[in-house]
Amino acid sequence: MSVVDLPLEVRGAACSPAAAESLSARDADLLARRLKAVADPARLRLLSIVAAHDGGEACVCDLQEPLGLSQPTVSHHLRVLTDAGLLSRSKRGTWAYYALVPGAADALGAAFLASVAPRGR
Amino acid sequence: MSVVDLPLEVRGAACSPAAAESLSARDADLLARRLKAVADPARLRLLSIVAAHDGGEACVCDLQEPLGLSQPTVSHHLRVLTDAGLLSRSKRGTWAYYALVPGAADALGAAFLASVAPRGR
């Protein structure tokens, strides 16, 4: 049985207080999944291009050429970012438009920094 | 030839101003590499455990048990974090000790947020 399977009040006795205050296995899994969504050069560039567009929204028709990737590859990366809650997608006429979800990147950055900040000091 | 291969003064003419202000392919590669180092549950927990330890430093002998991973696996993850500039390693006697590199996690978080922030507004 690992420490993270124990109820919180038992963990303090089972290991050092410092270890008990660190990121849980479950929280680490969730955070790693969100970080993996952005730990990719094409996806970082997509986020950056959308952010730099007027109104913070970009047509999918403007996202393929700057990256030099095929349309299915760009669609895959956009889906990963949308599933991760970083981009929103709205369809208008022929095209889909992508926008940054307000606060989502900030929240991810803050969650990462909180996970490596000393606790309870 | 991709936009990023062009000299800066040519890019503005070759594509929309918004795209010219977004993250370059090279910067995206570098940032994605640093984010990949932390986009892993075991590595996030290692950073968190080191951060939570007294004095912000942990003996490698205290890092294996909380993770429930083999010693070679823990060593691999510690090497990735050290190579990424997030942890420093010092050997004293039998054991290696790991500490957070001051400011490194903050710098990574800031670089990510800067990459998705609208430019020049």
Interface predicted TM-score (ipTM): 0.80
Given a cut of 60, whether residue A5 has pLDDT beyond it is no
Residue B67 in domain:
yes
CATH number of the domain that A111 lies in?
Answer: 1.10.10.10
Lowest-confidence segment of A19-23, A112-116, B25-29 by average pLDDT: A19-23
| Total count of domains within chain B | 1
Residue B68 in domain:
yes
Residue B21 in domain:
no
Averaged pLDDT for residues B70-77: 94
Residues 39-58 of A with CB under 8 A from B: 39-45, 47-49, 51-54, 56
Contact assignment for B100 to A109 by CB distance below 8 Å: no
Residue B30 in domain:
no
Residue A120 in domain:
no
Residue A12 in domain:
no
List chain A residues with CB under 8 Å of B118.
51-52, 56
List chain B residues with CB under 8 Å of A31.
41, 44
Averaged pLDDT for residues A4-33: 64
Residues 51-110 of B with CB under 8 A from A: 51-54, 56, 62, 65-66, 68, 100, 105-106, 108-110
Cα dist from B85 to A103, B52, B80, B89, B113, whole Å: 27, 18, 9, 10, 19
Which pLDDT score, from 0 to 100, does residue A16 have? 45
Distance in angstroms (rounded) separating the CA atoms of residues A62 and A107: 27
pLDDT, mean over chain A:
84
Residue A58 in domain:
yes
Residue B2 in domain:
no
In this structure, are residues B31 and B115 in contact, taking their beta carbons and an 8 Å threshold? yes
The angle at the Cα of B90, spanning B48 to A110, to the nearest 5 degrees, equals 25
| Range(s) of the domain holding residue A77 | 23-115
Which pLDDT score, from 0 to 100, does residue B118 have? 67
Contact assignment for B42 to A54 by CB distance below 8 Å: no
SS3 B89: strand
**Which DSSP helix (H) or strand (E) runs through B24?**
none
